Structure 1
Amino acid sequence: MSRRVLCLRHGQTLWNVERRFQGHTDIPLDETGMAQAARAASMLTTLRPELIVSSNLQRAAATAQALAQLTGLDVAVDEDLRERGGGEWEGLTREEIAAGWPREFAAWEAPGGEDVGDVAKRVSAAVRRWAEQISPDGLLVVVSHGAAIRLGIAMLMGLPQQHWPALGSLGNCSWSVLEEGRKGWRLLEHNAGTLPEPVQSDDDPDATPA
């Protein structure tokens, strides 16, 4: 038996479409985002999550609520799961950022924004806290944001910071699945949009037996 954590990115917003840096700005889901949240909820409810926890930003909370309505679970809210703060870049398009801050754009370090290491620490700590509240074979659904999820996963897996970019971004209402193994957390699915399937393999003693 092992705990699993499913990290679900929120649905689409208008600022996603316009390629604006959202950060801590509290942008709602657009019509497409609401439909994406409903679709994801219809699939994920079959996994019978024990607990749902969401970022305090409304785009994540609304995505979580779609799943809560089908599962009958309440949604816990944790501010530590919110997106990376974008400082002076929030509300700006990538083109505007590149033009105004070429050096910072190349490093993707927003003036006045959050350091990636700080984001990774707060998100991974939050996931660990909530994972402790589920049963040994339970499923926790964490509804958060693209950068927050990616950075939190990287730290949970113990990846050196120079290797964090090796994890790709998540699409709207896509998810990643972590499992707690004997040697820590490992990534089972990343940027998925279909239900995870059991892995049958001779590769590792923690893999699902044939």
Structure 2
Amino acid sequence: MSLAHPLCIVRHGETDWNVEGRLQGQRDIDLNGRGRDQAAAVGQILKSDHPEILTFDFVSSPLARAQDTMRLMRGAMGLDPDAFRLDDRLKELTFGAWEGFTWREMVERDPQGSAAREADKWAYCPPGGESYEMLSTRIAVWLADLKGPTLAVTHGGVARVLLGLIVGVSQKELPLRDIKQGRALLFSGADARWV
């Protein structure tokens, strides 16, 4: 897919659950100190290196870690911290009953489910959760609704499926892609690059 308008994706800053390796999914976990610093730093980088982004439409996942990242980032850009929209479609994929556990704990608690997910991370859906395939469908609808240049603060899973939808990264490779916090991913046409 080739985008008609530029798109900038920022993953929320670090949380304590990120550090612990816990599956956050759609749990509302706050940023930690490093995450707040990452959010302000990406705002400063975007303002100095890509000032055109200041005119983009700003939208965020409604989860607290994404909203707080947006506020800190916009503040560092010299913009009104609260002047952005929320969109439920930008939430992280949900891990359902697995949320709150580390991967090691899930292997012990649900060895069959853990093995099934490892065998097919794209299509496997945890109990009460969502697969990458389901998330991709949700995000494709969001992409189709974009009306102009957009900056979105969202989550690692969302950024991964965007790499698949826009750049064409394979379904097998996507779940393995490292999506860094405190960095922005700029999409233009059918290309993407980190800043």
Both structures adopt the same fold (TM-score exceeding 0.5): yes
Report the residue type matching 1:5 in the other structure: L
Give the structure with the higher percent helix.
2
User: How much does 1:26 deviate?
Assistant: 0.4
The residue matched to 2:28 in structure 1 has which SS? Answer: coil
TM-score computed with the length of structure 2 as normaliser: 0.82
Checking the alignment, whether the CA contact within 8 Å between 1:37 and 1:66 is kept in structure 2 is yes
| Per-residue CA distance 1:5-42 (angstroms, 9 max, x = gap) | 11110000010011100001000101110011011111
- Stretches (4+) displaced over 4 A: none
Report the residue type matching 1:42 in the other structure: Q
Instruction: State how many pairs are aligned.
Output: 178
The residue matched to 1:178 in structure 2 has which SS? Answer: strand
Gap regions ≥5 residues in structure 2 = none
Structure-2 residue corresponding to 1:54:
60
- Rounded to whole Å, the distance in 2 between the matches of 1:164 and 1:7 is 16
- Rounded to whole Å, the distance in 2 between the matches of 1:93 and 1:68 is 32
Q: Which has the larger radius of gyration?
A: 1
Match runs of 1:7-156 below 5 Å: 7-46=9-48, 47=50, 48-49=52-53, 50-69=56-75, 70-72=77-79, 74-106=83-115, 107=117, 108=121, 109=124, 110-130=126-146, 132=147, 134=148, 139-156=149-166
User: How much does 1:151 deviate?
Assistant: 1.4
Gap regions ≥5 residues in structure 1 = 181-185, 195-210
| Per-residue CA distance 1:21-64 (angstroms, 9 max, x = gap) | 00010001011100110111111123232111110001011111
Match runs of 1:152-171 below 5 Å: 152-158=162-168, 161-162=171-172, 164-165=174-175, 168-171=177-180
- Rounded to whole Å, the distance in 1 between the matches of 2:62 and 2:145 is 16
Checking the alignment, whether the CA contact within 8 Å between 1:19 and 1:93 is kept in structure 2 is yes
The residue matched to 2:153 in structure 1 has which SS? Answer: strand
The residue matched to 2:188 in structure 1 has which SS? Answer: strand
RMSD across aligned positions (CA):
2.0
- Rounded to whole Å, the distance in 1 between the matches of 2:169 and 2:180 is 22
